[in-house]
């Protein structure tokens, strides 16, 4: 399955994006803007995301209240502080909007660290692929693949020969990482993180 990057919400930066609150803030702002416009993302939100109770995601817990699902309070507090700092740098110190807090929790639970061929880290909110289940033993990965060769009157043009064609054709692609039998549920990674992190980020209740 190929989901063109032109319909995804994408943020790229140098260095490991997991250690920065900037990437999730920028993806959250993109999502708010896209889902409020008369666009694909507005329809996608109505069809797939409005049924999600964002308030149950630990990162959306209001300040001063205990996190949901017995999540690690320190992780929740640290995320809120990082998001506040990132927002303050972007907005010249204006208060952190609660809409951004809730949207950030949604993005954190659904975004992918895409395996890119470039030197940059690429974080993306990929429609349809965000519906994949999480598993500690995943059978698929999601990566950025270049544009497929384009056929012309003079032959086949490879994506590497035309950067504008490549930017239009790059896609997030589901690739199997193990043998998958018919009817088997496709599942992606869950970071290999400890249970408290899985609970806070994805809402996965500790066993």
Query: Which domains are delineated in the chain?
Result: 2-202 (3.90.1410.10)
Question: Sign of dihedral through CA atoms 202, 143, 131, 55?
Answer: positive
Give me the helices (H) in the chain, please: 22-36, 40-44, 73-91, 98-108, 163-169, 195-202
Task: Take residue 105 and report the two structure tokens written for it.
Answer: 């929790």
pLDDT tens per residue, range 115-140? 666 656 778 899 998 888 877 788 88
pLDDT of the residue at 42: 93
Task: Take residue 33 and report the two structure tokens written for it.
Answer: 């803007």
Distances from the Cα of 32 to the Cα of 70, 93, 109, 137, 150, angstroms: 28, 20, 16, 32, 34
Higher per-residue confidence, 5 vs 70: 5
Is pTM beyond 0.75? Reply is yes
User: Shortest CA distance to 203 belongs to which of 99, 53, 78?
Assistant: 53
3-class secondary structure, 182:
coil
Q: How confident is the model at residue 148 (pLDDT cuts 50, 70, 90)?
A: low
User: How many other CB atoms sit within 10 Å of the CB of residue 200?
Assistant: 28
pLDDT surpassing 70 at residue 31: yes
Q: How confident is the model at residue 70 (pLDDT cuts 50, 70, 90)?
A: low
Phi, psi of 142 (to 5 degrees): -120, 125
pLDDT tens per residue, range 151-170? 444 444 333 333 334 445 78
Radius of gyration of the chain (CA): 18
């Amino acid at each position: 399955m190929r989901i063109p990057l032109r319909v995804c919400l994408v943020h790229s930066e140098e260095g490991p994006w997991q250690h920065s609150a900037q990437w999730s803030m920028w993806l959250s702002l993109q999502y708010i803007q896209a889902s409020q416009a008369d666009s694909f993302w507005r329809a996608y939100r109505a069809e797939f995301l409005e049924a999600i109770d964002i308030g149950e995601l630990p990162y959306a817990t209001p300040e001063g209240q205990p996190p949901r699902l017995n999540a690690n309070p320190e992780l929740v507090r640290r995320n809120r502080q990082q998001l506040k700092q990132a927002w303050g740098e972007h907005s010249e110190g204006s208060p952190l909007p609660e809409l951004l807090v809730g949207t950030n929790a949604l993005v954190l639970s659904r975004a992918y660290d895409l395996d890119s061929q470039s030197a940059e880290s690429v974080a993306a909110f990929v429609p349809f692929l965000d519906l994949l289940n999480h598993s500690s033993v995943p059978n698929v990965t999601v990566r950025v693949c270049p544009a497929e060769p384009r056929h012309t009157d003079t032959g086949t043009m490879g994506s590497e020969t035309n950067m504008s064609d490549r930017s239009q054709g790059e896609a997030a692609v589901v690739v199997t990482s193990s043998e998958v039998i018919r009817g088997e549920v496709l599942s992606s990674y869950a970071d290999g993180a400890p249970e408290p992190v899985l609970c806070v980020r994805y809402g996965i209740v500790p066993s």
